Amino acid sequence: MSFRTLSPEVLMAGGTRIMQAGLEGGKIVIVYGKPALEKSANLTVQVASWSAQNPILAACAVVGTTGTIILAAPGLATGPVLSSLGFTMNGTQAGSAAATAHSWIGNIVAGSAMAIGQSAGAGGNGLVIVNGVAQLGGAAMTFGSAGLAWVKAQL
């Protein structure tokens, strides 16, 4: 069935029902949205106040959470970094930091940092190494910040 076979009355009725549903959705947002917005604003003020009073613990919370995310999903960190350096699926991007480094180095030796970066950017075996290093960094961030928070709590 196409729109050409529908009568104008049927199209108008369908459009009216869609518009009514949108208005009902708007009423729901007005009723429930305002209290939710007020609660989130209050929570934000409380978090900001606590962070101002406990800057070391707040920093530990941010660093620890970031480390946990990198530990669980290293590609969230390594993908953008590799891309911004110029290591892409199609090879080294012209004019990038990777291209500049490649021009200084000359021939790339297998197993070197440059070769691993190129492999990781192309989605090869180097990605395992890069993601593993990122996960080690994430673990260090997580456990280091937890240790610092524990020491702070003992003082």
Q: What is the pLDDT of residue 82?
A: 94
Residue with tokens 């920093």: 59
Q: Of 12, 33, 53, which one is at a domain's C-terminal end?
A: 53
Q: What is the pLDDT of residue 27?
A: 79
Q: Are residues 46 and 99 in the same domain?
A: no
What does the alpha-carbon distance between residue 146 and residue 121 come to, in Å, rounded to a whole number? 32
Q: What is the pLDDT of residue 128?
A: 95
Q: Are residues 22 and 97 in the same domain?
A: no
What does the alpha-carbon distance between residue 84 and residue 144 come to, in Å, rounded to a whole number? 27
Q: Of 36, 53, 70, which one is at a domain's C-terminal end?
A: 53
Q: Are residues 82 and 94 in the same domain?
A: yes
Q: Are residues 83 and 26 in the same domain?
A: no
Q: What is the pLDDT of residue 71?
A: 95
Number of domains in the chain: 2
Q: Are residues 73 and 146 in the same domain?
A: yes
Q: Of 9, 29, 53, which one is at a domain's C-terminal end?
A: 53
Q: Are residues 46 and 59 in the same domain?
A: no
- Domain span including residue 89: 55-155
- Counting as low any pLDDT under 50, the low residues of the chain are none
Contacts of 100 (CB under 8 A, 6+ apart): none
Q: Are residues 130 and 105 in the same domain?
A: yes
Contacts of 93 (CB under 8 A, 6+ apart): 86, 87, 99
Going from the C-alpha of 16 to that of each of 6, 25, 80, 85, the distances in angstroms are: 15, 14, 46, 53
78, 91 contact by CB (below 8 A)? no
Q: Are residues 148 and 109 in the same domain?
A: yes
Q: Are residues 138 and 70 in the same domain?
A: yes
What does the alpha-carbon distance between residue 140 and residue 71 come to, in Å, rounded to a whole number? 9
pTM of the predicted protein model: 0.66
